[in-house]
């Protein structure tokens, strides 16, 4: 990449230099032509006024100017560079014809006497009807180009060399900080970078932190899973061993069987929740359809009625039909988990109110109870996997510590928003909002 950038920069510089040189040469050639014609016109006018052909001769020879005096009939009377006697009649020369008509004429053409040379002619009609013509070779753009070629090549080489060095320096300035960042990502903060790189550095830093955080979370999760599975399995193994060795009385056997049953149920719900979470993690885009959240809430409440009765908790449903785009199974799971928690962490004669309303373009689901509540400092943490505030009640009521993590995951997958309002001893309200259809 370094070589590529370097080559490209150098190429851009080379193209710019060559284009500039060509343009500059074109402009100079034009200016040069203008200067030649201006000088020649001035010289011609002076000679015509003074009629001093001989005096002008020495200047003309030095400046390589040709002076021709043409008679009224076109015959050449004087020419300082050619033999008049051998010269053909000039009556058909365009500058002669034009000067006769207009008094003066200026023309650039190839000379007939000296072939293949681009020549600038200036002709003036004198008072006696003769025509004075002064001319000078201007040379073609190619001849000027070839004349100045060594100088142009020399200059170009020097400039190209400077461009080469500068492009290498520039490439280095651009790439060096990037290389440094790549070589030591842990000390990215200490690196000196230019300001355009700062957002990239921040992004890499953020991603790096996220990767570390995720890796830590994965480690914690594995440790938690191991612990959550080990506890019921240890008790199953222990009780079954007691029965196997015949150390348990008939009365004990019933109790041990009950404990084994309880532990295996716990094991099953934990495994189910872990599988649910990993499914939610790996699922791509959910298949969404129009769902009436009120209907889903009604079904959940119906199926949790017996459960609520066991805890002496009354369930209420308020609000009206509200349509959202969602996966119906996930919505059942979400409401079920929230209502189940509100029942399990409640007090005898408590209530759970599920309300479905809308505000602006949002449909809001609220699950509110007047149970034991969650102290403010745990509000964020309860959505973490395996985080329990009331550990003993969670375990006694069959909790896995994964219910709210699953809720959070479902809300995120549905681009919804989640909020919690709770105070210890006063109850808890969890609100979820979704985009209205």
- Interacting residues toward ligand ADP by CB under 6 A: 341-342, 345, 369, 371-374, 382, 387-390, 394, 399-405, 428
Q: Shortest gap between Cβ of 386 and ligand ADP (angstroms)?
A: 8
Neighbours of 326 (CB within 10 A): 26
- Residue 333 near residue 404 (C-beta atoms within 8 A): no
| Closest to ligand ADP by CB, 327 or 394 | 394
Backbone angles phi, psi at 118, to 5 degrees: -70, 125
DSSP letter assigned to residue 322: -
Neighbouring-strand partners of residue 5: none
Measured distance CA(174)–CA(196) in Å, rounded: 10
- Residue 331 near residue 289 (C-beta atoms within 8 A): no
Angle CA(115)–CA(121)–CA(122) in degrees, nearest 5?
165
Nearest residue to ligand ADP, scored by beta-carbon proximity: 403
Ordered DSSP codes for 105-166:
EEEEEE-SSSTT-EEEEEEEE-TTS-EEEEEEE---HHHHHHHHHHHHHHHHHHHHHHHHHH
Q: Shortest gap between Cβ of 352 and ligand ADP (angstroms)?
A: 8
| Closest to ligand ADP by CB, 135 or 400 | 400
| Closest to ligand ADP by CB, 69 or 343 | 343
DSSP letter assigned to residue 349: T
- Residue 422 near residue 389 (C-beta atoms within 8 A): no
Neighbours of 20 (CB within 10 A): 12
CA-closest candidate to residue 433, choices 322, 343, 339, 336: 322
Helix 250-282 / helix 403-413 crossing angle, nearest 10 deg: 20
| Closest to ligand ADP by CB, 44 or 399 | 399
Cα distances (angstroms) measured from residue 278 to each of 46, 97, 233, 340: 103, 101, 22, 21
DSSP letter assigned to residue 436: B
- Residue 184: which residues within 8 A CB-CB, separation 6 or more? 191
| Closest to ligand ADP by CB, 6 or 353 | 353
| Closest to ligand ADP by CB, 280 or 404 | 404
DSSP letter assigned to residue 14: H
| Closest to ligand ADP by CB, 290 or 381 | 381
| Closest to ligand ADP by CB, 123 or 334 | 334
Q: Shortest gap between Cβ of 258 and ligand ADP (angstroms)?
A: 21
Q: Shortest gap between Cβ of 372 and ligand ADP (angstroms)?
A: 5
Q: Shortest gap between Cβ of 224 and ligand ADP (angstroms)?
A: 12
Q: Shortest gap between Cβ of 277 and ligand ADP (angstroms)?
A: 11
Q: Shortest gap between Cβ of 312 and ligand ADP (angstroms)?
A: 16
Q: Shortest gap between Cβ of 342 and ligand ADP (angstroms)?
A: 4
| Closest to ligand ADP by CB, 292 or 369 | 369
| Closest to ligand ADP by CB, 44 or 373 | 373
Q: Shortest gap between Cβ of 394 and ligand ADP (angstroms)?
A: 3
Q: Shortest gap between Cβ of 433 and ligand ADP (angstroms)?
A: 18
| Closest to ligand ADP by CB, 138 or 389 | 389
Q: Give me the residue label for tokens 């006694």.
A: 396
> What is the chain's Cα-based Rg?
50
Measured distance CA(332)–CA(297) in Å, rounded: 7
Coil/strand/helix, residue 361:
coil
Residue 234 CB burial class (10 angstroms; 0-12, 13-18, ≥19): exposed
Q: Shortest gap between Cβ of 236 and ligand ADP (angstroms)?
A: 20
């Amino acid at each position: 990449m370094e070589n590529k950038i370097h080559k490209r920069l150098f190429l851009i510089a080379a193209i710019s230099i060559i284009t500039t040189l060509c343009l500059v040469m074109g402009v100079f050639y034009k200016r040069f032509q203008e200067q030649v014609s201006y000088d020649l016109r001035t010289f011609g006018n002076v000679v015509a006024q003074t009629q001093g052909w001989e005096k002008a001769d020495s200047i003309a020879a030095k400046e390589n100017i040709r002076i021709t005096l043409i008679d009224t009939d076109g015959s050449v009377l004087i020419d300082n560079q050619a033999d008049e006697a051998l010269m053909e009649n000039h009556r058909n020369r365009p500058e002669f014809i034009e000067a006769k008509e207009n008094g003066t004429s200026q023309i650039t053409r190839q000379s007939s006497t000296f072939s293949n040379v681009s020549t600038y002619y200036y002709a003036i009609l004198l008072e006696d009807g003769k025509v004075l013509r002064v001319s000078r070779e201007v040379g073609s753009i190619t001849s000027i180009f070839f004349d100045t070629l060594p100088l142009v090549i020399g200059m170009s080489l020097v400039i190209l060399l400077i461009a080469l060095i500068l492009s290498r320096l520039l490439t280095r300035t651009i790439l060096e900080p990037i290389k440094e960042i790549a070589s030591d990502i842990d000390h990215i903060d200490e690196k000196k970078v230019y300001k355009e790189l700062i957002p990239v550095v921040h992004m890499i830093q953020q991603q790096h932190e996220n990767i570390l955080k995720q890796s830590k979370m994965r480690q914690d999760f594995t440790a938690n899973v191991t612990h959550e599975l080990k506890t019921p399995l240890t008790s199953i193994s222990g009780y079954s061993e007691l029965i196997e060795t015949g150390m348990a009385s008939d009365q004990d056997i019933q109790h041990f069987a009950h404990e084994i049953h309880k532990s295996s149920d716990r094991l099953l719900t934990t495994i189910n929740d872990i599988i649910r979470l990993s499914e939610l993690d790996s699922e791509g885009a959910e298949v969404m359809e129009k769902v009436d959240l009120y209907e889903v809430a009604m079904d959940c409440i119906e199926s949790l009625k017996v459960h609520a009765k066991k805890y002496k908790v009354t369930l209420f449903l308020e609000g009206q039909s509200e349509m959202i785009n969602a996966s119906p199974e996930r919505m059942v799971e979400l409401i079920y988990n929230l209502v189940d928690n509100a029942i399990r962490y409640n007090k005898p004669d408590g209530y759970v109110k599920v309300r479905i309303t809308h505000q602006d373009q949002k449909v809001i689901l609220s699950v509110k109870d007047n149970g034991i509540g969650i102290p403010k400092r745990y509000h964020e943490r309860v959505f973490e996997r395996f985080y329990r505030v009331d550990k003993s009640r969670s375990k006694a009521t069959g909790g896995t510590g994964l219910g709210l993590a699953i809720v959070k995951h479902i809300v995120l997958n549905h681009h919804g928003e989640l909020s919690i309002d709770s105070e210890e001893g006063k109850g808890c309200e969890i609100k979820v909002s979704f985009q209205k259809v």
